[in-house]
Amino acid sequence: MVADQPHLILVDGSGYIFRAFHALPPMTRPDGVPVNAVFGFTGMLGNFLTRHAGSHIAVVFDHSRNTFRNTIYADYKAHRPEPPPELVPQFALIREATAAFGVACLELENFEADDLIAAYAKAFSAEGGKVTIVSSDKDLMQLVGPLVQLLDPIKQKPIREPEVFEKFGVTPDKVVEVQALAGDSTDNVPGVPGIGLKTAAQLIQEYGDLETLLASAEQIKQPKRRESLVNFAEQARISRRLVQLDADAPLPAPIDSLLARAPEPGRLSGFLRDQGFRSLQHRLGLDGDGATAPPTSAPRFAPPPAILMKAEPAATLDDAAPFGPYETVTDLATLERWVAEAQAAGTVAVDTETDSLDALHAKLVGVSLAIAPGRACYIPLAHGPKPGTGDMLEAAPEAPAQIPLREALSALQPMLEDPGTLKILHNAKYDLEVLGRPQAEGANSGIDVSPVDDTMLISYSMDAGRHGHGMDELSLRHLGHSPMTYDQVTGTGRARIPFAQVELEKATAYAAEDADVTLRLWRLLKPRLRTDGALATYEQVERRMIGVLKEMEEAGIRVDGVELARIGEDFSGRMTTLEQQIHELAGKPFNVGSPKQLGEILFDEMKLPGGKRGKAGAWGTDAAVLEDLSARGHALPKTVMHWRQLSKLKSTYVEGLAAQLDPRDGRVHTDFSMAITSTGRLSSTEPNLQNIPIRSEEGVRIRRAFVASPGHVLLAADYSQIELRLLAHLADVPSLREAFANDEDIHSRTASEIFKIEPGKVDREARRRAKTINFGIIYGMSAFGLAARLGIGAGEAKGIIDAYFAQYPGIRAEMERLKEEARINGFVLTPFGRKLWIDGIASKDMSRRGNAERAAINAPFQGGAAEIIKRAMVRMPKALRDAGLDAKMLLQVHDELLFEVPQGQLTATSQAVKEVMESVAELRVPLRAELGHGGNWAEAH
DNA sequence: TACATCACG
DNA sequence: GACGTACGTGATGTAC
């Protein structure tokens, strides 16, 4: 960054004024003139000037309420109240204060301050100058660009393209298009009814701009949206003109006159004295008689580097380095130089390129390294020839020159395994699985990469629930840079080529950039872990989970494919029969798998009662609806439910699972995602082994197909009532604590207490109700929700909830505390300190906020439970090893761990597993794990 | 690709 | 007085 690059600071005066006025209690001068806004403004401006410097600076004001926008649209800002009378006399004094600092005041009749800001920003940046606009007004976000940024005066946070994107879902140049659609109630910009920020952003992303969208409005699929766009097209155009700032507004003062300069001697202190602002004189170092505070200590506006310039690029030149060009390493000597440089640096970002997203099958194609921002390389290892044109006369293309795989890996291995060189990866589990897999015939490497840091997990530890943690997203968000995408490199659809066929130049640009981005993210995010209070979560839990999950994924679980096929045949036959019955009952054949067709038959043709339409206008036919109809004595719904159950099990589990069976070992290997959920849980994909059926008899058959290896048994260990234990712990409920301490049935205890039934005389129905409400509580349930689940009236449900809270007042207090915590901080903390962000908690949309509040209530319980089992998993391998046991941990299903145990070690393993799981956290209630074992997963329960 | 549905905790 | 109504996931089939 060039230190003396021209830098214009434009302060949005109105923002300062209103903030000052509303933040401070009334204050008056001895002569009775109100001055609270003047005082606040002067303090804020003085404070800003002592901390920031630019080459040019001005404060921009609104001239009057009437502007050209009122002639476009009379209602523009019409609902804004007149400024309060106490504020009016302060406007002139505020301009005086600005001038006393030696700062220019800008205003112009008929234009808003925002237009002048736009005009000066345009003029200044056109000459290559940098512009900082001090304001948090979202209407100014349209001005953000390579040379123009906003600075939020409250949070002292720069607002650049990623922040704008976060707010509007589009890049700054498209902000007005979005605003034109979404409107703005605070400014009375009408927009298009029914279209909010989300929809607007989506439409603009799709169509590019308002006019293109309006031109294609007739083709919009959603009927309501289409109608709105057609009917309110003109209103949208007007809205666009209202929000579009006029960057061609005349400049009331030449740019040169905005040059930053020290205040005239005495003028500032004179002003402060006149207003009676003694504390400000002191704060600004102007209160001395010359003895302690000579004039030279007055604010200087020139040399001290702006906070903007040091806030992030304190690390400086480095982090401003361009993304590329990067080096392609194709000879051993060059590779050895890179390896030596990495070891000398002590930290290196590493990324692997492969031919598959599935780590257990992926073949290594290349490795990239980054040692400093902008300094990165790509080492191709298994690139083949470019795809030919298919012309038979063409000479066979040759593979590009590259270091032989074995030699390259031998050169890399010592560095990758060097305990003194930290390897930084994004989603390290993947790369570690690829590099760690020993393979015959040259492919992959058997390298045990250590130690590692993982930027995905660093981000997740701090920002779970706030946004995704993919590299591209983090890069745009934190670095303001969109890396090249995989699709751009390999193409998409039919034209897609394997990465190994991508030409080296392109592969290097992509692969080295990913390593570069990873390194830059690490430099930015790693220090934040400590300040954000997320260091322990990352170091003690997330980072240690990498190796644990790697082992589990590699182990996989044995599935009996023959049994699976038998189940499939059986289901098929039964489905055929059911389908015939359904068609007869319906009076005609139709596709039973189509909810749309089913809805039409049930509600349009058969005219059954109780139909409700979903958001797309189709009849709802889910299990709850069908159950209801069935209870009214209709045969069709029940038959459909049965068919659906078989259909689900067959397609998702019988066929889906069979397709995932690895023929090499007869096992299925899931991929645990570590950074997906907003609560700290894992998730499982390809296949999802966390939702294998168990609740129905047919489901149990599927689970029986998960079997132990010969000579082994499966051991399942479930945490008992873990979320309710956390409830008893967090809300500190004496009677629930006692119940757990005595190993009582918690739902019976609850039933006895809220329904006032003698202990021991609780019947099944009372227990069922208590169980429903116990779970409902940790989901933030309402009376309505409870009524629906229990099939009782809302009044009765409310009575039960009232009785519950009367019995357990600590629980209600805890629910309120969690909502409050989320509202104030934007996040809640689990009992172990994991930070979980609650999206939408500040939303003005009642429904959205309601959802967020329930999520805030649930998050500490779900997240706390996730934390407990993760900690147990992290401790498990060593505990087993120390006990001389060979059991393998195979799966985690949120509150359950599944192990494969050599038959002779069952007792000892059970003991060790139980001990680890129950001792991993000290709560106000004991933790309990329940164990079972058998030849298959169903039996182990 | 959106939606509805349903498998699990 | 209306609103919408229990938390968190992933996979599948239909319809567009």
What is the homologous superfamily of the domain A7-257 according to CATH? Answer: 5'-nuclease (3.40.50.1010)
Sign, CA dihedral A228-A234-A237-A238, equals negative
Structure confidence by residue, pLDDT tens digits, A505-538: 999 999 999 999 999 999 999 999 988 999 999 9
Tell me how far CA of residue A392 lies from CA of A155, A419, A891, in angstroms: 65, 52, 51
Task: Work out if A776's Cβ lies within 7 angstroms of strand C.
Answer: yes
- CA-to-C1' span, A682 to C9 (A): 9
Tell me how far CA of residue A426 lies from CA of A431, A671, A875, in angstroms: 9, 16, 24
Q: Which nucleotide is nearest to A685 (CA to C1')?
A: C10
Task: Work out if A596's Cβ lies within 7 angstroms of strand C.
Answer: yes
Task: Work out if A343's Cβ lies within 7 angstroms of strand B.
Answer: no
- CA-to-C1' span, A842 to B5 (A): 31
A 827-886, residues with C-beta < 7 Å of strand B: 862
- Residue intervals of chain A classified under CATH 3.30.420.10 are 318-556
Token readout for A867 is 């934390």
One-letter identity of residue A306: A
- Residue intervals of chain A classified under CATH 1.20.1060.10 are 558-667
Q: How far, rounded to the nearest angstrom, does the alpha carbon of residue A275 sit from its chain's CA centroid?
A: 49
Q: What share of chain A is helix, strand, coil (3-state, %, to 5)?
A: 50, 10, 35
Residues 6+ apart with CB under 8 A from A452: A422, A423, A424, A425, A428, A432, A543, A546
Task: Work out if A263's Cβ lies within 7 angstroms of strand B.
Answer: no
Q: What percent of chain A has pLDDT over 70?
A: 94
pLDDT given for residue A443 in this prediction:
58
Note whether A477 and A467 are within 8 A (CB): yes
Residues 6+ apart with CB under 8 A from A877: A548, A551, A889
Residues 6+ apart with CB under 8 A from A227: none
Structure confidence by residue, pLDDT tens digits, A329-366: 999 999 999 999 999 888 999 999 998 888 988 999 99
DSSP conformation class of A613:
B
Using the C1' atom of nucleotide B4, identify the protein residue whose alpha carbon is closest. Answer: A595
Token readout for A863 is 């997240």
Tell me how far CA of residue A335 lies from CA of A327, A349, A371, A408, A508, in angstroms: 11, 15, 13, 8, 14
Task: Work out if A677's Cβ lies within 7 angstroms of strand C.
Answer: yes
Neighbours of A109 (CB within 10 A): 9
Structure confidence by residue, pLDDT tens digits, A824-866: 999 999 999 999 999 989 888 888 899 999 999 999 999 999 9
- List protein-proximal bases of chain C (any atom < 7 A from a CB): 2-16
pLDDT given for residue A305 in this prediction:
28
Identify the helix (H) or strand (E) that includes residue A856: helix A846-882
A561 pLDDT band (50/70/90 cuts)?
Answer: very high
Structure confidence by residue, pLDDT tens digits, A450-491: 999 999 999 999 999 999 999 999 998 899 899 998 888 988
Using the C1' atom of nucleotide C5, identify the protein residue whose alpha carbon is closest. Answer: A785
Task: Work out if A464's Cβ lies within 7 angstroms of strand C.
Answer: no
Q: How many helices (H) and strands (E) does chain A have?
A: 38, 23
- List protein-proximal bases of chain B (any atom < 7 A from a CB): 3-9
Dmax over Cα atoms in chain A, in whole Å?
103
Task: Work out if A660's Cβ lies within 7 angstroms of strand C.
Answer: no
CATH architecture under which domain A318-556 falls: 2-Layer Sandwich (3.30)
- Residue intervals of chain A classified under CATH 1.10.150.20 are 722-863
Residue A246 and residue A313: Cα distance in Å, rounded?
32
Report the CATH number of the A558-667 domain.
1.20.1060.10
Task: Work out if A36's Cβ lies within 7 angstroms of strand B.
Answer: no
- Residue intervals of chain A classified under CATH 3.40.50.1010 are 7-257
Using the C1' atom of nucleotide B6, identify the protein residue whose alpha carbon is closest. Answer: A648
pLDDT given for residue A2 in this prediction:
45
- CA-to-C1' span, A656 to B7 (A): 12
Token readout for A744 is 């009582």
- CA-to-C1' span, A443 to C8 (A): 39
A 856-885, residues with C-beta < 7 Å of strand C: 858-859, 862
Using the C1' atom of nucleotide C9, identify the protein residue whose alpha carbon is closest. Answer: A683
Pick A722-863's CATH classification: 3.40.50.720, 3.80.10.10, 3.70.10.10, 1.10.150.20.
1.10.150.20
Task: Work out if A778's Cβ lies within 7 angstroms of strand B.
Answer: no
Task: Work out if A644's Cβ lies within 7 angstroms of strand B.
Answer: yes
A308 pLDDT band (50/70/90 cuts)?
Answer: very low
Task: Work out if A614's Cβ lies within 7 angstroms of strand C.
Answer: no
- CA-to-C1' span, A702 to C7 (A): 27
Q: Which nucleotide is nearest to A626 (CA to C1')?
A: B5
- CA-to-C1' span, A551 to B6 (A): 31
Note whether A448 and A534 are within 8 A (CB): no
Taking each helix axis as running N to C, give the angle between helix A36-51 and helix A90-100, from 0 to 180 degrees, rounded to the nearest 10: 20
Structure confidence by residue, pLDDT tens digits, A646-697: 999 999 999 999 999 999 999 999 999 999 999 999 999 999 999 999 999 9
A 180-239, residues with C-beta < 7 Å of strand B: none
Using the C1' atom of nucleotide C12, identify the protein residue whose alpha carbon is closest. Answer: A652
A 658-717, residues with C-beta < 7 Å of strand B: 690-696, 699
Task: Work out if A755's Cβ lies within 7 angstroms of strand C.
Answer: no
- CA-to-C1' span, A637 to B4 (A): 17
Q: How far, rounded to the nearest angstrom, does the alpha carbon of residue A811 sit from its chain's CA centroid?
A: 29
Q: What percent of chain A has pLDDT over 90?
A: 61
Q: Closest by alpha carbon to A57, among A248, A257, A250? A: A257
- CA-to-C1' span, A209 to B3 (A): 27
Residue A139 and residue A493: Cα distance in Å, rounded?
40
A393 pLDDT band (50/70/90 cuts)?
Answer: low
- CA-to-C1' span, A595 to C13 (A): 10
Tell me how far CA of residue A83 lies from CA of A330, A479, A675, in angstroms: 70, 41, 49
**Average pLDDT across chain A, whole number:** 88
